[in-house]
Amino acid sequence: MFLGLLLTVLASGQDCQETLSAARQAYEQQRYEQAAEHFGRAVKACGSSAPLLLALGQAQLLARKPAESLATLDRIPAEHPDYVQALKVKAKAQYLLHRDGDAEATLKRAAERAPRDAEVPYDLGRIYYQQGRHAEAAELFRRATTLDPAAYKAWDNLGLATEALGDAAQAQQHYLKALALVHKDHPRYDVVYANFADLLIKQGDYQRAFDLAAEAAGRNPDEPRNLFLAGKALVQLGRSDIAVRWFERAIVLNSDYPEPHYLLSQAYRKLGRDGDADRELKLFQQAAARAPKERR
């Protein structure tokens, strides 16, 4: 993402360099709102080059400002080499704005421009999966893995789509492929560990599910779902006393996440802590009532 910006820096003055440096640092630290602000200033200081507009649009998207992201990305000319990447970001913004048809059309335009880009069918597959079009999603994820056999997110999501189609055995194989790809080379990627753990809980393989969820939590301790799944497996293993700590940590991270409240209530009940159980059940009901319907 930052190669084009490096060229901009080399050809620009001190104000441009300082602003871009601040923007890049904020982006890499996942402070996306600040990154968007800095990139916006950089556009004024450095000029509206396509790489800089793309960086600004990406930061705005990650800062949950999809409408602003779209406005920025529309400024990138269609003949520029970054245009396909801009289309991919634009489709994500359109999806977050519930413009599914536009997002689908945008990704199909990107596919026409770059038919060998594995990220394009992956992104379209994610939209179809969220819409419940699991067979179509699975086909797109397969296409992505054919284009790029190392596309670990595509393998992971192929597992999700295959699981949704009722083939748990094949889903496991796809998850295992993703695990092999991320184990050493992508140490921060946690999602496939959680997805696989969730499947194993459904199948009653609770110890293995706990191990996977604990690994997910180790990779990303700020994701409450990882902690919740570890606790859920522990309850089934008869260790409600330990599960309580996992649920409590998940709730600290996101008190609006309903499911940890519910299972924490059950765990408290098993431990004879009826007052705490009643409190958590009430909190579950409140969290479920206000649960955000955000798109991801």
Higher pLDDT, 295 or 180: 180
Amino acid 294: pLDDT: 55
Handedness of CA 70, 124, 224, 191 (dihedral sign): negative
* Tokens coding 153: 């997110």
* DSSP H helices in the chain: 3-10, 14-28, 32-46, 50-62, 66-73, 83-96, 100-113, 119-130, 134-147, 152-164, 168-182, 191-203, 206-219, 224-236, 240-253, 258-270, 274-289
pLDDT-derived band at 290, boundaries 50, 70, 90: confident
Instruction: State the Cα–Cα distance between residues 134 and 284, nearest whole angstrom.
Output: 30
Residue 260 has pLDDT above 50, yes or no: yes
In a domain, residue 3? The reply is yes
Mention every residue, 6+ apart, whose C-beta is less than 8 A from residue 260: 224, 227, 228, 231, 247, 250, 251
What is the reported pTM? 0.88
CATH number at residue 85: 1.25.40.10
Higher pLDDT, 102 or 293: 102
Average model confidence (pLDDT) across the chain: 94
Amino acid 225: pLDDT: 98
Angle in degrees, CA 208, 210, 215, rounded to 5: 100
Q: Please report, as a single letter, which amino acid is at residue 189.
A: Y
pLDDT-derived band at 3, boundaries 50, 70, 90: very low
**Of 97, 125, 141, which marks where a domain is finished?**
97
User: What does the pLDDT look like over 36-48, one tens digit per residue?
Assistant: 999 999 999 998 9
Nearest to 228 by CA among 212, 208, 213, 238: 213
Higher pLDDT, 138 or 290: 138
Instruction: State the Cα–Cα distance between residues 226 and 228, nearest whole angstrom.
Output: 5
* Residue 223 DSSP one-character state: -
User: What does the pLDDT look like over 232-259, one tens digit per residue?
Assistant: 999 999 999 999 999 999 999 999 999 9
Number of separate domains in the chain = 2
User: What does the pLDDT look like over 210-228, one tens digit per residue?
Assistant: 999 999 999 999 999 999 9
In a domain, residue 140? The reply is no
Q: Please report, as a single letter, which amino acid is at residue 134.
A: H
* Tokens coding 87: 């289309």
Amino acid 71: pLDDT: 97
In a domain, residue 10? The reply is yes
Residue 163 has pLDDT above 70, yes or no: yes
Amino acid 88: pLDDT: 97
Q: How far apart are the first and last CA of the chain?
A: 22
Residue 6 has pLDDT above 60, yes or no: no
Instruction: State the Cα–Cα distance between residues 179 and 191, nearest whole angstrom.
Output: 10
**Of 67, 97, 127, which marks where a domain is finished?**
97
Amino acid 14: pLDDT: 80
Residue 291 has pLDDT above 90, yes or no: no
Higher pLDDT, 61 or 7: 61
* Tokens coding 291: 């649960």
Nearest to 24 by CA among 48, 3, 10, 45: 3
Amino acid 7: pLDDT: 45
Residue 9 has pLDDT above 50, yes or no: no
**Of 48, 64, 97, which marks where a domain is finished?**
97
In a domain, residue 265? The reply is yes
User: What does the pLDDT look like over 264-283, one tens digit per residue?
Assistant: 999 999 999 999 999 999 99
Nearest to 188 by CA among 154, 211, 221: 221
pLDDT-derived band at 15, boundaries 50, 70, 90: confident
In a domain, residue 130? The reply is no
Distance of CA 208 to the CA centre of its chain: 24
* Residue 76 DSSP one-character state: S
In a domain, residue 115? The reply is no
Q: Please report, as a single letter, which amino acid is at residue 213.
A: A
Whether the CB-CB separation of 69 and 57 falls below 8 Å is answered with: yes
Mention every residue, 6+ apart, whose C-beta is less than 8 A from residue 145: 118, 151, 154, 155, 158
Question: Residue 60 is part of which domain span?
Answer: 1-97
In a domain, residue 111? The reply is no
In a domain, residue 171? The reply is no
Give me the mean pLDDT over the 49-63 stretch: 96
- Per cent of the chain over pLDDT 90 is 90
Amino acid 10: pLDDT: 44
Amino acid 2: pLDDT: 54
Mention every residue, 6+ apart, whose C-beta is less than 8 A from residue 296: 130
